[in-house]
Chains A and B, each alone.
Chain A
């Protein structure tokens, strides 16, 4: 179907579908305005693109800095962002697995999870901690990895956790470098300090803030597939 055959409902449905099962974080007007007007947070909106075939697709996520485009996240990054943001933890992404000589990719689908953020305010030594537990399943894994075996399962879990942790940290550093705060770290710092100044926080504290992630992945339906 070409774009002109579709009605105006299509982008709306597309975004909603991507929110429900894929990597778009909550796309309501309320959540946008909440972030837009709220102190210590930057808004993000789904980034749509017309691909070579002439179809609209969700390319990723656009993070705004005040009212300008600050940063564009690709699919994987918006997947990670959706988990870091919390509340609605869902989505799927590709990842690498290796065992001995063999390497391959598989797909991880996150079904639900929990995310608790906490902050320690201490000037330039401030630290944010994310305690994340996600439940998911692995799809399309290679034949050489028999997931019915427990040790393979464990191996997969360890590799996943390591990779995701690294990716989370990379994404966080990216936010810091671009001076955008779609995670609302500033708001978190405001909530747990007596006095808080938005400008001062983003000039002094935000670029140096450390991040710690305690990630736990539980693969519930591992081994199932078509």
Chain B
């Protein structure tokens, strides 16, 4: 059982903090406020908090599964549980999920770019540019991606200081009255906030790349806790800055918030926001594309270079085929369903299935004795 790769390929467990946090923050952070407000209105921050806490449980499940798998990743786990053939079919699904993540993130970010900055530039050109950047990083390997995750957290964190401007205009009574919604309202909001928490599932692929990965779990939990606090903070700020009705009308509340910022030397601060956001979306894109290649390599022994070409062609095709803004919304809804059912249904099912098989094996070995 070699769950950890050659030391020259691994990163220290401390970097899990950046790896998990950076892959969670993405394009969903730009517009989640107007989605979560639909259910529990001013109480939706409770849903954000609860989903954040529930992800801790998912991380625990992931670690449980990874520690028990042969190679420390989902590819070997699938083969171990379902046999070689069925396992590989599931691996292909996982590969598709990875590509779906990349395409959705790129397309959502491009729709921001097209609306705010480059209205006359064709999508295929922007998509190609993004894909070249991402592929370049992915070719560098896992350690380069870790580096991008690191900077993709540190640099955009500077934007947090600019929230001071929004607090100046805050109406704190917007958060009142507290807790006047029913459970079903909270669930509606919770469903919408799952997508922005998705990201720990990449652990299923890069787990063998973490040094001392058996004892690295605490960093994953610390990272998740930080993400929860950050999201809660942004949610509260947006709720006090916008009125309820206004949030329903704004497409990208986080970007709209940045419009109030005005310096004598930068009239339009939102451009800085949009371009710094590239650093926020690069980590999940790189990680998912790298993950996709890794899935093909581990399950079918494909050459990385060839699977990179195949993957980016599929991604480019998917990105350019999503044409209107309605389609972007639709693909967003689709990936919300896919990733929430992956995290909250597939992982627990896998866990239960694993326990059953283990129980069977135990019974068998007892029988032989």
Give chain A's interface residues, CB within 8 Å of chain B.
Answer: 28, 30-31, 33-39, 41, 187-188, 190-195
CB closest residue in chain A, given B169: A30
With the chains together, A188 CA to B174 CA distance in Å? 9
In the complex, whether B260 has a CB less than 8 A from a CB of chain A is yes
Please tell me if the beta carbons of A191 and B176 are within 8 angstroms of each other in the complex: yes
> Given A30-B259, A31-B169, A39 and B244 touching (CB < 8 A)?
yes
**A187→B173 contact, CB < 8 A:** yes
Q: Does B17 contact A (CB under 8 A)?
A: no
> Which residues in B have their C-beta under 8 angstroms from that of A31?
169
Which of A34, A188, A193 is the one whose CB lies under 8 Å from B243? A34
**Chain A nearest CB, measured from B246 CB (Å):** 4
- Of B169, B180, B243, B260, which one neighbours A39 at CB under 8 angstroms? B243
Per a CB cutoff under 8 Å, which of A38, A41, A195 touches B180?
Answer: A195
B177 within 8 A of A: yes
**A194 contact set on B, CB distance < 8 A:** 177, 180
Which chain A residues lie closer than 8 Å to B180 at the CB level?
194-195
- B260 to A33, Cβ gap below 8 A? no
Task: Say how far B288's CB is from chain A's closest CB, in angstroms.
Answer: 35
Chain A residues with CB under 8 Å of B249's CB are 33, 37
Question: Which of chain A's residues have a CB closer than 8 A to the CB of B260?
Answer: 28, 30
What are 29 of the A-B contact pairs (CB < 8 Å)? A28-B260, A30-B259, A31-B169, A33-B249, A34-B242, A34-B243, A35-B243, A36-B245, A36-B246, A37-B244, A37-B246, A37-B248, A37-B249, A38-B243, A38-B245, A38-B246, A39-B243, A39-B244, A39-B245, A41-B243, A187-B171, A187-B243, A188-B173, A191-B173, A191-B174, A191-B177, A192-B177, A194-B180, A195-B180
Residues of B bordering A, CB below 8 Å:
169, 171, 173-174, 176-177, 180, 242-246, 248-249, 256, 259-260
Distance A190 CA – B176 CA, assembled complex (angstroms): 8
A43 to chain B, nearest CB (A): 11
CA distance A195 to B180 in the complex (A): 8
The residue that A192 contacts in the complex, of B174, B176, B248, B256, with Cβ under 8 A, is: B176
Q: Is the CB of B246 within 8 A of A33?
A: yes
Residues in chain B near residue A192, CB distance under 8 A: 176-177
**Cα distance A36–B244 in the bound complex, in angstroms:** 11
* Residues on the B chain within 8 Å of A37, using CB: 243-246, 248-249
Name the residue on B nearest A38 (C-beta).
B243
Question: How long is the Cα–Cα vector from A39 to B244 in the complex, in angstroms?
Answer: 7
Q: Are A193 and B246 in contact (CB under 8 A)?
A: no
Report the separation of the CA atoms of residues A56 and B259 in the bound assembly, to the nearest whole angstrom.
28
In chain A, what residue has the closest Cβ to B172?
Answer: A191
Most chain B CB atoms below 10 A, which of A41, A188, A191: A191
What is the bound-complex CA distance between A142 and B313, given in angstroms? Answer: 83
Scoring A36, A38, A193, A194 by chain B CB atoms within 10 A of each residue's CB, the highest score goes to A38
Residues of A near B246 (CB, < 8 A) are: 33-34, 36-38
Which residue on B lies nearest to A194, using beta carbons?
A: B180
Closest 9 CB pairs of A and B: A38-B243, A37-B245, A191-B176, A37-B246, A191-B173, A34-B243, A38-B245, A194-B180, A33-B246
CA distance A120 to B174 in the complex (A): 17
Distance in angstroms from A53 CB to nearest chain B CB is 32
Cβ–Cβ < 8 Å partners of B245 in chain A: 36-39
A28, B245: Cα distance in complex, Å: 17
